[in-house]
Amino acid sequence: WAFYVTDFGRYGLPLESGKVGWVSDVNVSYSREALEKTRHLWKERFHEMLVHRFLESQGEELFLSNELIVYHSRPPISLGALLKERFDWGILFGYVRVIQLSRTQRIVFILASPLIPIVLWIRHGAIQVSKGRGLRYIAALPFVLMLTTAWTLGEVWGYITQRP
């Protein structure tokens, strides 16, 4: 459940449909026009941050909908493998996040990085409380802390190395 919270928690029901500032690459769909406009960004490899930034810069808006429900299942995975996966995905996220930033902006991100886990813990907790799952979040908190710490270490490594 901690994996669900840290990766998909904001998309679980109950969910209010409407305009949002961020959507993941999970459960996303694009119009043909949006795909054509962004082809140069995903031709080699898809990074939702780059695609979404570009679409927003063109005046497009991102939306969430509670009308489509997707069930995610994956084979059992050990905690160690999950921590490595979070670290690896964090690296990719950090790399993509700073790829278009100046050196000064990247240094600011690196210096501010100790705040990342705190922001994530509060954000994940607030989302789960709003969905009526606050006690379940608290019970999962030790694992949430481990997963978000692994993610943060990866994200910062992506900032520093600027490599996926």
* pTM, rounded to two decimals: 0.84
CA angle 92, 130, 27 (to 5 degrees): 40
pLDDT per position as a tens digit, 110-164: 999 999 999 999 999 999 999 999 999 999 999 999 999 999 999 999 999 999 8
pLDDT in tens, 44-61: 888 888 888 899 899 988
pLDDT score at 157: 97
What whole-number percentage of the chain has pLDDT above 70? 98
Q: For 18-41, what is each residue's pLDDT tens digit?
A: 888 777 766 678 889 988 999 998
**Residues 98 and 158 sit within 8 Å (Cβ to Cβ):** yes
Distance CA 69, CA 42 (A): 25
Listed residue (37, 51, 32) closest to 99, CA to CA: 51
pLDDT of residue 48: 83
Terminal C-alpha separation, the chain: 27
- The pLDDT confidence band at residue 87, using thresholds 50, 70 and 90, is very high
Query: Among the ranges 3-7, 60-64, 110-114, which has the highest mean pLDDT value?
Result: 110-114
